[in-house]
Structure 1
Amino acid sequence: MTFSVWLAMAPLLMLLSLGPGPNNFTSMHNGIQVGATKAVIAVVGRNLAFGILMLVSALGLGAIIVSSSFWFSIIKWFGVAYLFYVGIKTWRSAAIVLEEHENEIGTKAKSGHLARMRQEFLVAIGNPKAILLFTAIFPQLLDLSQPVPMQFFWMGLTFCCTEFIAAYVYAMSGKQIRRLIRSPKGMKNLNRGMGSVFVLASALLATATRS
């Protein structure tokens, strides 16, 4: 892949990563709860899931899943159920006075890095639109006169990098919201708001089709 081709491809992948979706909402929520740095670290889990989906797509299995109503539905409803669970759990979360967490340097977040990575992984792996992205968009960016595997590798690596950037953008916006919340009531309302976003995301995902 030439540098000029990559330069034309990278902005498109950046726009795709910046689009609102379940994983970016997760980064925003994590940014509110534990700060941008920890939220971005959690994206390792998201990119691991995307790496698996990209490998599936590269091997040609993505086309099978996309063309199969059964497997598409299995992936879709797994994602719907998980997002709905996260939404209800967030809605019912206890109100926490954020002033108690102002000095978090050197302290371990309640859920831990691995738990947040696992959350990002499950949200990403359960989103059939990711398969559609990697099977419908990526092939259109390929130069068939050049070795395909290496092109797919660089596209995948670039996409994972843009996911870190997008997560940081969303997490930082969440962190700014966090600074405005200082009371148990405010935190309770915030949890309900974010819980509603996850439930809405699950509802939107339920409407996903293979078209």
Structure 2
Amino acid sequence: MWITSFLAVALLVALTPGANNLLALRHGMVRGFGGAMVGVCGRLVAFAVLVVAVVAGLGPLLSASEWALTIIKWAGVGYLAYLGVTILWAGFRRRGEPDEAVVEPAARERPTLSALARKEFLVAITNPKAVLIFTAFVPQFVVPAGGSVTTQLAVLGACYLVAEAVAAGAFAAAGSVIRAVRLSYRAHRRLDRATGGVLLGMAGLLATESP
């Protein structure tokens, strides 16, 4: 029963719009559902690293270390800002294309699958909120009478990865649907600019938050 409850809560947390889910949405638009899910594997690897850290007993040490969280925070701010500027530039760079012409899939930017996975990994591993999910949120569901704490943390971590994969799949599927609609260059430019702006806004919010 406790696993079911945890999965329900974890899915709600994973579905919260954030930088990684925004990337899954955009990757679904440029590479389709399958390509976006390959990118999501990078995110899951990053989260698996955090799960291993928590199981190894490093969770409380990491969450209590102000300097470690500060380093992670500013790395995240820098990378989100970089992604935001890059995507914004892609939107403005298309200004020479006919507004009403349809963007053909082959004409779009097609980053490699490894590049998609690398972006997802870096955004996830430099997100201090992701660190706190595994060091503060997940351990709350450990049952004192449920046996080995280490085993429970490993199981809970694995369950959260499943919830994250499901949530990411929903955003990737939404992106692939948008891709199938075959947007005009004008609509695609607007989406790029909106995505870049949101990522820059997230970078700004993260920069102003306390570690």
Fold-level match, TM-score > 0.5?
yes
Contact 2:43 2:117 in 1 (8 A): yes
Counterpart-to-counterpart distance in 2, 1:180 and 1:193:
18
The alignment's C-alpha RMSD in Å is 2.2
Specify the alignment match of 2:202 in structure 1: 201
Does residue 1:45 correspond to 2:42, yes or no? yes
Residue-by-residue CA offset, 1:147-184 (whole Å, 9 max, x unaligned): 12221121111111111111111122223333455332
Counterpart-to-counterpart distance in 1, 2:171 and 2:52:
27
How far off its partner does 1:52 sit?
A: 0.8
Counterpart-to-counterpart distance in 2, 1:110 and 1:103:
8
Q: Report 1:77-116 matches (<5 A).
A: 77-93=74-90, 94-95=93-94, 99-101=103-105, 110-116=110-116
Specify the alignment match of 1:163 in structure 2: 164
Amino acid at match of 2:105: H
Does residue 1:24 correspond to 2:4, yes or no? no
Greater displacement, 35-44 / 15-24: 35-44
Greater displacement, 55-64 / 150-159: 55-64
Contact 1:27 1:40 in 2 (8 A): yes
How far off its partner does 1:185 sit?
A: 2.5
Counterpart-to-counterpart distance in 2, 1:37 and 1:103:
18
The two structures have a TM-score, normalised by structure 1, of 0.87
Specify the alignment match of 1:57 in structure 2: 54
How far off its partner does 1:79 sit?
A: 0.4
Specify the alignment match of 2:136 in structure 1: 136
Amino acid at match of 1:130: A
Contact 1:181 1:187 in 2 (8 A): no
Q: Report 1:169-180 matches (<5 A).
A: 169-180=170-181
Unpaired runs of 5+ residues, structure 1, are none
How far off its partner does 1:110 sit?
A: 2.5
Amino acid at match of 2:166: I
Equivalent pairs, count: 203
Shift in CA distance, 32/132, structure 1 to aligned 2, threshold 3 Å:
same
* Matched-pair identity in %: 33
Counterpart-to-counterpart distance in 1, 2:181 and 2:118:
28
Specify the alignment match of 1:191 in structure 2: 192
How far off its partner does 1:205 sit?
A: 1.8
- Runs of 4+ aligned residues of structure 1 deviating over 6 Å after TM superposition are none
